[in-house]
Structure 1
């Protein structure tokens, strides 16, 4: 089999990049063991324009957010299944000072695309928000599991996707092309999350793996809004409640923990006081985050035609649509990615 591109991994990054390449008429083969792809499949899929304890606009939001809805709407139409849920995000204020600060911020031009309302009183009696909060727009979540499964099914009809673990020891060069088992490819792209840490090409990159845990439970309070302050609380289409997430840089064991469960409920109780409800699931995933919290795009300085599109951490749903365009330009036209995401920023460590 001869292809233009061999992509390692079919998480959010591999899915979107392979779609862009396929739409441009390029032949693509994906290697991905679906059962091992926990990072994307456990992720909440939020796209949130105001984040963090200080409630600031998401890094590079003005470039990222115009790309999100159009891209996922295309993929939704492609696979014939709903994957994108546009929902307002409500972030309660902790103090009257925050309320006053956001009353001033609300007139800033840079926030108009994302800020729907500054509330001065409580939104729901079930929510602990005596000072009100901000209501965000151009926000929501992507059903990542439906997207990955639906895209995989669609892609199998038009191209090659193999459900197998990638073994880099079987990769070699033949007549200027990369050869992997029976596959010959012009270029190879590592989209396999933390798997790239074990690659002889990209083991120099400073990944900073982060474990996240998410709960799903039943509750009578099922608002349309995503409530997000310390934890997110999302009403799912089946009216279960998804709550999370934790961030652990030390405990990278793949199993769920009582410690994380307790932490999530403690944080949840601060914004939506609730008894511990019936749990439907408790899931974990290890995110491919990076030390500087910026993704990895680029070509290996020595490995001919070896590339990486990776390191999107917890914000892959927001980051990948925009940066997939930049990655496509690199693969097709050798236009270098922007410096803050280009892996050239780490070449001094090789």
Structure 2
């Protein structure tokens, strides 16, 4: 079987990149163990233009955010499923000083595309927001599981998904491309998250895995916006609220922890005044983050047909639409990938 590209991993990265390639009429096959893409499936899927304690614009927001909603809407139309949920994000101010600072920012043309209104008084009685807050727009979340399941069904129907464990020992790399079992391809692309750490081709890249935990709870407060300060709180269509997320670089075991649950609940109590809540689900996943918090894109320095599209960490939903387009331009037209995300920045040998 001769194809253009073999992709390892059908998480968010492999899904987006293969879709972009197929839009260019290229033949792809993906290898993925069912339900193995844990980091994608556990992720809350938030896309948020203003982040961090200092509430600054997300890195490269002016490039990333114009791509996010159009890309996922195109995937929704293609698959006949809905998984993009557009919602404003309300971020309470912590002080009068912060409120005043944002009032000063309100005329900044660089920030105006990302916020709808600055509130100087409490907007919700149930929220700790005595100084008001900022209502962000161009934001929301992705139902990643629905996307991955629908795309996997499409791939299976088209005989484009090998549901098995990838075994690198079967990979042969030549000057003309690669062979994997019965498949010949022009190239192979590692989109398999932390699995790439075990590859002899990319084990030198400085992955920095981060564990994240989230809770699904039942609590009597269901605003039509995402509340985000310290933790995010999303009202889900099923009547539950999703609360997250923790970030741990040290505790990388595979399961949820009491410490993670306690941290989330303590932060939630500081944000939301309603005491009654019932924990329905407690989940965890290991994110394929990187040392410098920038993704890995590019070609192996010594091999013409071995590539990587990986390392998107906690912001994959925001990063993947734009960078999948950049990766396709590199693969097809040789347009150089910017140094900030190019694996050449690590001088891999």
Show the counterpart of 2:115: 115
SS in 1 for 2:113: coil
Instruction: Quote the offset at 1:310 in angstroms.
Output: 0.5
| Aligned counterpart, 2:205 | 205
Q: CA deviation at 1:181?
A: 1.4
- Is 1:277–2:277 an aligned residue pair? yes
SS in 1 for 2:5: strand
Which region of structure 1 is more displaced relative to structure 2, 167-176 or 311-320? 167-176
CA–CA distance in structure 2, aligned partners of residues 83 and 9 of structure 1: 20
Aligned counterpart, 1:241: 241
Q: Determine if contact 1:38/1:285 at 8 Å carries over to the other structure.
A: yes
Which residue in 2 is equivalent to 1:179? 179
Question: Over residues 23-45 of structure 1, what are the superposed CA-to-partner deviations in whole Å (9 max), with x where a residue is unaligned?
Answer: 11111000011221110000000
CA distance in 2, matches of 1:326, 1:129: 40
1:101 paired to 2:101: yes
Cα 1:107–1:190 change in 2 (3 A) is: same
Distance (Å, rounded) in 1 between the aligned partners of 2:151 and 2:276: 36
Matched, 1:262 2:251: no
- 1:175–1:203: structure 2 CA closer, same or farther, 3 Å change rule? closer
Shift of 1:274: 3.5
Counterpart position of 1:152: 152
**Stretch moving more, 158-167 or 249-258:** 158-167
Misfit runs of 4+, over 6 Å: none
Q: Which runs of 5+ in 2 are unaligned?
A: none
**Greater mean alpha carbon deviation, residues 170-179 or residues 7-16:** 170-179
Instruction: Say if 1:175 and 1:292 are closer, same or farther in 2 by CA, change over 3 A.
Output: closer
CA offsets, 1:45-73, max 9 Å, x none? 00000000100000000000000010000
1:343 corresponds to: 343
Mapped partners of 1:344, 1:194: distance in 2: 19
Size of the aligned set, in residue pairs, is 349
In structure 2, C-alpha distance between the alignment counterparts of 1:35 and 1:276, rounded to whole Å: 33
**Cross-structure match for 1:295:** 295
8 Å CA contact 2:219–2:276 kept in 1: the answer is no
1:90 shift after superposition: 0.3
The TM-score with structure 1 as length reference comes to 0.98
Deviation per CA, 1:318-337, whole angstroms, max 9, x where unpaired? 00000111100111111111
Q: Which residue of the partner structure matches residue 34 of structure 1?
A: 34
2:220–2:274 CA contact under 8 A, matched in 1: no
Deviation at 1:273, TM superposition (A): 2.5
3-state SS in 1 of match to 2:243: strand
**In the aligned structure 2, how far is the partner of 1:131 from the partner of 1:159?**
56
Instruction: Quote the Cα distance in structure 2 between the aligned partners of 1:133 and 1:212.
Output: 26
Q: Deviations over 1:154-195 (max 9, x none)?
A: 122234101111111111136733111111111000000000
SS in 2 for 1:35: coil
Taking the aligned partners of 1:2 and 1:280, their CA distance within structure 2 comes to 47
Aligned twin of 1:51: 51
Where does the alignment leave 5 or more consecutive residues of structure 1 unmatched? none
Structure 2: distance between partners of 1:97 and 1:215? 32
> 1: distance between equivalents of 2:321 and 2:15?
10
In 2, Cα distance between the equivalents of 1:57 and 1:319?
14
Structure 2: distance between partners of 1:214 and 1:274: 19
Shift of 1:148: 0.4
Higher mean displacement: 170-179 or 144-153: 170-179
- Give the TM-score taking structure 2 as reference length: 0.98
Superposed CA RMSD in Å reads 1.1
Partner secondary structure for residue 82 of structure 2: coil
- Given that 1:265 and 1:276 are in contact with CA atoms closer than 8 Å, whether structure 2 keeps it comes out as no
Q: What is the CA–CA distance in structure 1 between the aligned matches of 2:275 and 2:129, rounded to whole Å?
A: 18
Q: Work out whether 1:309 is the aligned partner of 2:309.
A: yes
SS at match of 2:110: helix
Q: Which residue of the partner structure matches residue 77 of structure 1?
A: 77
Give the structure 2 partner of residue 214 of structure 1: 214
Q: In 1, are the aligned partners of 2:297 and 2:310 still within 8 Å (CA)?
A: yes
